Amino acid sequence: MNNSEIPQEELLKKRAENIKSMFSSIVGVYDLLNAVLSLNFDKSWRKFAVKVSGIKPDTKVLDVCTGTGDLAIAHSKLLNGNGLVVGSDYCHDMLKYGLPKIKKRHLENKIKLVEADTLQLPFRDNAFEISTVAFGIRNVANLDEGIKEMSRVVGPNGKVVILEFSQPTNFLFKKIYFF
């Protein structure tokens, strides 16, 4: 059976499982890879994404594909006691690796981590004011549906911020980009 004979839903499920497995296998070097692939611009790009989001001290933010939590941490620096960042990721190992980073900064009251698939977010409509993703949307099995879900949880007055590498055209960089 070739790929054209496999139902689309099965292909998406298989892709999602492959992505989860891949991220589980690189969790220990994930932060380093982000720095290397971005030529160490990833931190300043995250700061820019936070600025663009328009976050206020009491904002409720959802950061999908949070990985080890770097964008969630960047958001949390601008929150007060009423604000909250929920970092969601499909890969349990990423969340497990990110939790000590959050605890080390004493941010447990500002950041909550939730294992969740971006395609089926377990949150009600309009639950957040802002939904973000940094360097992860390309790994969502169905891009359009992932963006729809991010939009659903912020509603018509919310903001969706996507920070992503552009797709490289150089063969070598393309191979690294789609590792």
What is the per-residue pLDDT across 1-34, written as a single tens digit (0 to 9) for each? 555 566 888 888 888 888 888 888 889 888 888 8
Predicted confidence (pLDDT) at residue 177 exceeds the cutoff of 60 = no
Q: Which amino acid is at 56?
A: K
Which has more pLDDT, 16 or 133? 133
d(CA 103, CA 158): 29
Predicted confidence (pLDDT) at residue 130 exceeds the cutoff of 80 = yes
Chain CA centroid to CA 114, Å: 12
Q: Are the beta carbons of 168 and 138 closer than 8 angstroms? A: no
Q: What is the mean pLDDT of residues 42-59?
A: 95
Which has more pLDDT, 92 or 24? 92
Query: Percent of the chain having pLDDT more than 70?
Result: 89
The domains of the chain are located at 8-177
CATH superfamily of 8-177: Vaccinia Virus protein VP39 (3.40.50.150)
106: alpha, beta or left? (left if phi > 0; alpha if psi -120 to 50): left
d(CA 92, CA 105): 21
